[in-house]
């Protein structure tokens, strides 16, 4: 049997955004085939840009060592953030726009300067940050039952869906993003706990990996880009009607309601 082309797999993933979710991509990708998976991601990124979607930043995923071990990899992955993925702080996300979503609390950075070096350090990122925000990433998978490998999630744009960042950001100076605590609440009840160190040892480490990786691929991060640096604690599956709030020490909070506005 002939394996499907990357173009065919990319189209399969795009069509799955409207449901139903599809089987894992084993017929086209080895579970650890990073090159093939990023090639498929790039095909869809270009396709969506052609449809008018605008890139506003990037997201790092698999920043927790336990999740990397689960998928058999030793590094994070990345996906693209488009303008229409942003949900207003305090706003609504219509459940009809998702398949099997989960929420996780993160630290978001907005860059004031570009990061063009493939050897970007955490200190380089710190010097380039314009503001720091509490964030919620709503991840989703076009792969049925979240039965993903590394290649599945990369091809599927890092299992991305939507994101929320706090309306007001804070300057990085004076913040402790290493020991800062995180609480993710569902309808006012604690659902997930974490800390900055859970994100690749420090959110700036994740951002430095992201900047270096993208620069090496000829797609450096630019001034104004939004960076989601990775989960600070366990994900929480969403149920319609819930209000989700992330509180991060030193950064304040952000929230959304999982319901039609």
pLDDT, tens digit (0-9, with 9 covering 90-100), for 215-250: 999 999 999 999 999 999 999 999 999 999 999 999
pLDDT band at 1 (very low <50, low <70, confident <90, very high): low
| pTM of the predicted protein model | 0.96
Q: What is the pLDDT of residues 114-123, one digit of tens each?
A: 999 999 999 9
Sketch out the chain's domains with CATH numbers.
Answer: 6-257 (3.90.850.10)
Residue 2's pLDDT band (cuts 50, 70, 90): low
pLDDT at residue 69 tops 70: yes
pLDDT of residue 71: 80
Pick from 6-10, 72-76, 77-81, 108-112: least confident: 72-76
Mean pLDDT across 98-107: 97
Per the CB < 8 A criterion, the answer to whether 256 and 136 are in contact is yes
Write the pLDDT tens digit of every residue in 150-179: 999 999 999 999 999 999 999 999 999 999
């Amino acid at each position: 049997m002939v394996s499907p082309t990357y173009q065919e797999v990319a189209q399969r993933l795009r069509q799955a955004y409207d449901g139903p979710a599809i089987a894992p991509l084993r017929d086209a990708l080895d579970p650890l085939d990073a090159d093939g998976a990023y090639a498929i991601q790039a095909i869809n990124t270009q396709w969506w840009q052609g449809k008018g979607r605008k890139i506003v930043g990037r997201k790092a995923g698999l920043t927790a060592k336990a999740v990397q071990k689960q998928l058999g990899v030793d590094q994070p992955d990345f996906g693209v953030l488009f303008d229409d993925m942003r949900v207003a702080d305090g706003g609504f996300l219509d459940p009809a726009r998702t398949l099997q979503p989960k929420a996780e609390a993160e630290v978001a950075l907005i860059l004031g300067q570009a990061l063009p070096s493939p050897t970007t350090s955490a200190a380089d990122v710190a010097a380039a940050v314009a503001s720091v925000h509490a964030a919620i990433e709503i991840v989703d998978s076009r792969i049925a039952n979240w039965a993903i490998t590394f290649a599945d999630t990369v091809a599927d744009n890092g299992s991305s869906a939507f994101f929320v960042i706090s309306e007001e950001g804070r300057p990085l100076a004076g913040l402790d993003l290493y020991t800062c605590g995180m609480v993710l609440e569902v309808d006012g009840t604690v659902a997930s706990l974490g800390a900055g160190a859970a994100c690749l040892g420090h959110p700036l480490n994740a951002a430095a990996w992201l900047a270096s990786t993208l620069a090496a691929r000829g797609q450096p991060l630019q001034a104004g880009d939004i960076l989601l640096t990775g989960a600070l604690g366990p994900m929480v599956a969403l149920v319609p009607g819930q209000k989700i709030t992330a509180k991060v020490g030193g950064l304040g909070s952000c929230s959304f309601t999982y319901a039609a506005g």
